[in-house]
Amino acid sequence: MQSTSAADFALLIAEGDPVNWSLPAALVLGMVIGFAVVRTLSRGTLKQAAEQAKQVVDVARREAAVAAEEVKQAAEKEIATKRSALTREYDRRDIETDVRLREIRSHEESLAALDFELEQKGERLKREAAAIKQARDAIRAQSKDLRKRLEGVAKMDAEEIRIALREEVAIECQDELRAQRRQTLERSEQDLNNEARRILIASMQRLSSQPNNDLTATIVQLPTEEMKGRIIGREGRNIKSFEAATGVTLLIDESPQMVLISSFDPVRREVARAALEGLVKDGRIHPANIEEFVNQARDDIELKVQEAGEDAVGRLSINGLNPEIIKLLGRLKYRFSYAQNALDHSIEVGFLCSMLASELGLDPAVAKRAGLLHDIGKGIESDYEGSHAMIGADFVKRHGETPTVVNAVAAHHEEVPPESLYAGLVILADTVSAVRPGARAESMSSYIQRLDRLEKLAASIDGVRQAYAIQAGREVRVVVNPNVVSDDRASEIAKELRQRIEDELQYPSTIRVTVIRESRYTETAT
């Protein structure tokens, strides 16, 4: 059966066609019921669908939120990564910028320095060009002058040419001499003193010396008092024979069991001592026996003298000395100066000269040789006239020593002018060896007498109020009257006193003169 829709049914009514009203009513009712059922079902379905949709939406919303959060975190992480990368990039670019700026500044400074240097070079080149031009002009002028002088030389003899050349060289060397003098004077006195003190201290510290030898009297001990009578002999023949053979004087006094040997020659005293000790030990004392023992003692002393000279030369490692010089050196073993042994002093001076020469860049062998031989004149017999420095220089000259050594020996007491630095070294080393602590001894009476003479010499000058010798006589301090003596006069007094000390006194080492001029004015306020 064909069904009719509501639209068709409505159309039929509108057209006026007869209708079977029961069927449409049933249809309408069915449709209504169906619609209601469908609606009811659809409403439940829709509600369930809505709830499901709501759940889906919630799930989707949560998933979307989670996804969004993940996306946000990923985005933030990416942003942070990019920001960090950008920051590093910016920092790197800042560093590169700073480096480039510093490089630019450095280049600018280098360019500025280069510009300044170029300016300086330019100015120097200008000056050099001016100097070259001036020199060229001077050369041209000299060439013209030389041409004229050559024209004049043709009319001069050899002596006139020699004199003219000497005058020309003197004029040309004046500038160099002035420059050299200026350079020497520019070095302060303090620097020179410090350098000299350093060299002296270094040399003295390297030298290990013994203190002075005690000067013992030449005394022979006797076993018994009876031996004195045997030494004198009958009517004094034994003592006369002994004194004639040895050249000494025997002093036999009341001192118990001793005999004193007196002589200005220390070698003779040593020979007499050895001979007398041998005679006393032998017990047989008579003129023949005396002569035998004296000759034997003299031979023994000569052997000891030779050994002492060779030992001194060996200690200093000096070669090529004449045997006579070595023998004369050995005689210094028995000579003393202020209780200082002359041979030990000569060896010490030789060592000091060698070390000082090494410090100054000189030949230590020449300095050592001159230092050892400087006092050799003290060993020569008294028959020769003159100071020991002059006769010693003459002796070494006759035995083949060089002029440098001869002058150093002759000039070590400044009796002749030093001709080389080696002479100055000998003078200095001789002074250092004499004044070092423990080197020499002096009797109390002569010491007090020397100080008294020094003070009286200073007090004898007009204007001097007081004078004091201090530092064991190595310094004298003079107090002058300030109302009478001016500053200029005080300086003159110091120079005058120094000259009088050098001329009138004999003293070891040096003496410092200090003149004090002081004025004091005191007021008391009440």
Q: pTM of the predicted model, to two decimals?
A: 0.46
Q: Write down the pLDDT at residue 505.
A: 79
For residue 439, pLDDT over 70 is answered with: no
Q: What is the share, in percent, of the chain residues with pLDDT greater than 70?
A: 78
Q: Does residue 138 register a pLDDT over 50?
A: yes
Sign of the torsion angle spanned by Cα atoms 67, 71, 76, 77: positive
Average pLDDT on 287-298 reads: 84
Q: Give the residue-averaged pLDDT of 225-247.
A: 81
pLDDT score for 216? 42
pLDDT digits (tens, 9 = 90+) for 204-230: 555 555 544 444 457 777 777 777 787
* Residue 478: predicted pLDDT: 92
Distance of CA 290 to the CA centre of its chain: 63
Q: Is the pLDDT of residue 242 over 50?
A: yes
Compute the average pLDDT of residues 353-376: 87
* Per-residue model confidence (pLDDT) at position 515: 92
> Which SS3 state, helix, strand or coil, does residue 467 take?
strand
Q: How many CB atoms lie within 10 A of CB 24?
A: 18
CB within 8 A of 253, min separation 6: which ones?
260
Weakest-pLDDT range from 6-20, 162-176, 275-289: 6-20
* Overall average pLDDT of the 192-207 stretch: 61
Q: Tell me, what's the pLDDT at 215? A: 47
Strand partners, 259: 220
**Phi and psi angles of residue 339, each rounded to the nearest 5 degrees, phi first:** 70, 10
Contact 375, 332 (CB under 8 A): yes
**Token pair listed for 496:** 């005058």
DSSP E strands in 308-368: the ranges are: 336-337, 340-341
pLDDT interval class at 195 (50, 70, 90): low
Q: Work out the number of other CB atoms within 10 angstroms of the CB of residue 299.
A: 11
Mean of per-residue pLDDT scores for the chain: 77
The mean per-residue pLDDT over the stretch 414-421 comes to: 85
Give pLDDT, residue 339: 64
> What residue ranges in 258-332 does DSSP mark as E strands?
258-262
Is residue 132 scored above 80 in pLDDT? yes
The CA distance from 122 to 446, in Å, is: 76
pLDDT of residue 2: 43
Most confident of 381-390, 434-443, 470-479: 470-479
pLDDT at 424: 86
Indicate whether 120 pLDDT > 80. Answer: yes
The mean-pLDDT minimum among 52-56, 315-319, 440-444 falls in 440-444
Q: What is the pLDDT of residues 19-62, one digit of tens each?
A: 454 566 667 777 777 777 766 776 767 677 777 777 877 777 78
Report CA torsion sign: 291, 269, 276, 304. Answer: negative
Q: Tell me which DSSP letter residue 387 carries.
A: -
Q: In the prediction, which pLDDT does 314 show? A: 87
